[in-house]
Structure 1
């Protein structure tokens, strides 16, 4: 049974502020960091336009703790599989800096985890039922230690995004992300397609074209990465993913999460920042109002236990706005996207990423 440390969202003094909680308690939680270790602080800097990602002051507090322990921390994130403002290294650095994450503000440099084009990685065997091996971003596989700071939130494909989602997607190269997503490669319903070309404009892989005779969109499965940004762009519901694909994707997500864990021989610590829990992920180029009241911060050496504890606390909280109907249900988080948030956790647990059994210790 794993320990999950928890500080609720309430604060009655400066000593209970988020950065002070981190500075006071994180040093005693971290294990195995040696002076001079190169330590990755893996986090999501937010898409441009997103305003609910983890705050720079929180990441700075983690950096300060690591420096006080004699480590050499750096900030890191990988490029995206979908088109946008973080698709390559320069764009990612630019967005991270614009959102407040740079050397001047953080006291540590920002390094693109998977390189200029998203192809700098290390292949790690995982031996899953869906995935035999996965390509982990170089900076997440070659550092001496890693602290993963995740914004707990909803997610349209996995129901919930936290530490396991961060490992099984955020710590991968583009090839790794593609392997997780390829089970979602969609088809086109010609009866619904209008040939508007919006899906073509959205696809960064050149996988969609207009058939010369039918004048309807056609998807090339050899080019498609399965990340479904085309589906989001279609106003007519013409982009159809395979039945059960999101469940299979979650299984792959959990198996892929084992890659960074094995690459670093479990030299990873995890923090879930459960504030401003939005239904959409930080990859969205906007931020909706939170669907639930703030929960707080959770810390653990076990990512499965950490995510399970976070979900349990979310389910006990008050759901807000359009999601208030979920307050009468036990498994409230499952109602946000109508998909179970546990599939990827159970998949990771089966391969030894951690345990769903935990004890919660308040700090």
Structure 2
């Protein structure tokens, strides 16, 4: 049974701001020891997104790490798809555009998987689906880590929180590709008009036009389905039911950074601006539920399970269904697989 600490959004006020709440929660989940070099894992948001965790929250965590005797740096990794975060330079530039700078946070920002997203260490897992996974080298080399996650929906995992921040956000490109493998898309030749938009959009050069139709080289495809967005004719789609095996891989992959850091990780789930889509989207859609609050724990499985339960409770009170209804995807699948591989416990006590 793991402890999850919770401060409701309704308690926010002039004498109990989000900054005050982070300060109060930090000692209850902090793994930081004096002299630690501490990774603070965030998602700075894609350029155009406006609902990621705010820099002031990150600065507060930076200040608390320093007060505990740690040496903090803020970090994220590159992405698989064509965007303004495809390499380390773009990651840092996009973070700065969204307000995450040394000046705003009091700590430098480092891209954890190197210039091109291929700097990593292999961590043995022995899972049902994953023998091993490649964790971004800078994260694996840290003494301890604080993972700050914006809770929101996700089209493949149903929910994005601490486990997704570990099992996707802490990996290099090769690790991300392993998790995305079940989503390798297929082309419907009858719908394809041979416009070539997908060819231009794919950063891996795995799509070509033969006989006027798009063909995907599945042996080289990374499984990231941004090419589907590029197609105006709905000619590209992932296999039916791919989200289940992807979530199972995601859950197992979350154990990679946990093992690499010897479980010396603390977690903060920030449940505000509950958008349907990930912070990787270059826009922020209207929220699907009201603000819930801030959670903290030393257990990524427990904090995500508690977050999902609290979101569902909020949605029930608002007569808006459950988080499963947002994308038609059950998010507990990846939470359950993280628990099965030993990343944490589904059983928790909510402490207020």
TM normalised by structure 2 equals 0.97
1:356 aligns with 2:346: yes
Counterpart for residue 341 of structure 1? 331
CA distance in 1, matches of 2:51, 2:158: 18
C-alpha displacement at 1:105, in angstroms?
A: 1.1
Aligned counterparts of 2:162 and 2:27: Cα–Cα separation in 1: 20
How big is the shift at 1:221?
Answer: 1.0
Alignment of 1:122-133 (within 5 A): 122-133=121-132
SS at match of 2:43: coil
> Does the aligned pair in 2 maintain the 1:9–1:295 contact within 8 Å?
yes
Q: How does 1:302-321 map to 2 (within 5 A)?
A: 302-318=299-315
Determine helix, strand or coil for the equivalent of 1:153: coil
Name the SS for the 1:21 alignment partner.
Answer: helix
Deviations 1:96-119 (A, max 9, x none): 111111111111000101010001
Per-residue Cα deviation, 1:249-294 (whole angstroms, up to 9, x for no partner): 1100001000000000100000000000100000000111111000
CA distance in 2 between counterparts of 1:13 and 1:341 reads 32
Aligned pair 1:176/2:166, yes or no? no
Residues 215-256 of structure 1 deviation map (CA, whole Å, 9 limit, x = unaligned): 111101122100100112222221122232211111000010
Q: Distance in 2 between matches of 1:117 and 1:76?
A: 15
Aligned match of 2:185: 186
- Which residue of 1 is the match for residue 295 of structure 2? 298
Query: What's the counterpart of residue 20 of structure 2?
Result: 20
Q: Distance in 2 between matches of 1:84 and 1:186?
A: 19
The SS at the match of 1:360 is strand
Kept after mapping to 1: 8 A contact 2:149/2:161: yes
Indicate the SS of the match to 1:3: strand
What residue ranges of structure 2 are gaps of 5+ in the alignment?
Answer: none
User: Which residue in the other structure is 1:254 paired with?
Assistant: 251
The corresponding residue for 1:288 is: 285
Question: 2-side partners of 1:28 and 1:156: how far apart?
Answer: 32
Structure 2 equivalent of residue 226 of structure 1: 223
User: What SS does the aligned partner of 2:10 have?
Assistant: coil
Q: Distance in 2 between matches of 1:289 and 1:233?
A: 22
Matching residue of 1:210 = 209
Native 8 Å contact 2:28 2:297 kept in 1: no
1:70 maps to 2:69 = yes
- Classify the secondary structure of the residue corresponding to 1:242: coil
**4+ long deviations beyond 4 Å:** none
**Post-superposition shift, 1:12?**
5.2
- 1:60·1:106 contact (CA, 8 Å) conserved in 2? yes
Asked if the contact 1:292/1:319 (under 8 Å) is kept, the reply is no
Contact 1:15 1:21 in 2 (8 A): no
Aligned residue for 1:22, secondary structure, equals helix
1:77/1:305 CA distance change after superposition, 3 Å: same
Deviation of the 1:318 alpha carbon: 3.5
**Displacement of 1:128:** 1.1
Distance 1:310 1:17, change over 3 A: same
Offset, 1:313: 0.6
| Residue 140 of structure 2: aligned partner | 141
In 2, Cα distance between equivalents of 1:166 and 1:295: 19
CA distance in 2, matches of 1:281, 1:240: 19
Q: Could you tell me how far apart the structure 1 residues matched to 2:316 and 2:226 are?
A: 28
- Give the number of equivalent residue pairs: 352
* CA apart distance, 1:328: 6.0
After superposition, where does 1:21-100 map in structure 2 within 5 Å? Answer: 21-31=21-31, 33-100=32-99
Matched-pair contact (CA < 8 Å) for 2:51–2:284: yes
Name the SS for the 2:6 alignment partner. Answer: strand
RMSD: 1.4
The aligned counterpart of 1:115 is: 114
In the alignment, is the contact (CA less than 8 A) between 1:293 and 1:319 conserved in 2? no
